[in-house]
Amino acid sequence: MTASRTAELNASKPGKAREVVEDHEEASQIKMGELSELLGYSLKRAQLRIFDDFIRCVASLNLTPAQFSVLLLIDRNPGRNQTEIANTLGILRPNFVAMLDSLESRELCVRVRSANDRRSHILMLTDNGRTILARAKKLVATKHEARLNEVLGPANRTALLEMLATLARDF
């Protein structure tokens, strides 16, 4: 972005154009070598971009991807407790506590002591939580995933999803 902003400034000085060596990628012309072939590298870079875009798309609701996934899972699985939700998301129980504290303080969900097992906390969305989740889903669908379909095309997006699922399953 520093590069593109510099380019704009130079473009506004018609006097001596092209003295800046066709800029674009500034520090680059650095060879990536076999890094371009490393799947893990591309995977991480892509993931960071996607997450950034996700956050941008639901910025008005102040939801991180992790928070969104928690709300989704609670909504789809009423009656589950903390460990069950945390486990299926790969979140460790200790780290899940602060996360729920945050969501609960925003009145998006509540912990209810189970009658069967008074150790566990049943999780459920509040009305407000359901509203926010619905809005988030809409934003994700119309902005985030729509953008993905633009860039990849629907067929590729599906194929990509399938391959990633394969990786997460068979690895």
Partner DNA sequence: CGATAATCGTTATTGATCATATCAAATAGT
Partner DNA sequence: ACTATTTGATATGATCAATAACGATTATCG
Which residues form the interface with DNA (CB under 7 A)? 2, 64, 66, 81-83, 91-97, 100, 111, 116-121
**Token duo for residue 129:** 């939580």
Residue linked to tokens 């899940």: 96
| Cα separation, 126 vs 55, whole angstroms | 22
| Cα separation, 101 vs 96, whole angstroms | 9
Q: Residue 69 or residue 126: which is nearer to its own copies going by CB? A: 69
Is 7 a residue that touches its own copies (CB under 8 A)? Answer: no
Least separation in angstroms between CB 157 and DNA:
24
**Token duo for residue 165:** 């699922």
146-165 positions binding its own copies, by CB under 8 A: 147-148, 151-152, 156-157, 159-161, 163-165
Is 93 a residue that touches its own copies (CB under 8 A)? Answer: no
Q: Residue 155 or residue 168: which is nearer to DNA going by CB? A: 168
Least separation in angstroms between CB 23 and DNA:
13
Q: What DSSP state is assigned to residue 123?
A: E
Least separation in angstroms between CB 61 and DNA:
15
Structural contact between residues 96 and 57, judged by C-beta atoms closer than 8 angstroms = no
**What residue spans of the chain are helical by DSSP H?**
2-11, 39-57, 65-76, 82-89, 93-105, 127-139, 146-152, 154-170
Structural contact between residues 82 and 99, judged by C-beta atoms closer than 8 angstroms = no
Give me the residues that bind its own copies (CB under 8 A), please: 27-28, 30-51, 53-54, 65, 69, 72-73, 75-77, 80, 83-85, 87-88, 90, 137, 140, 144-145, 147-148, 151-152, 156-157, 159-161, 163-168, 170-171
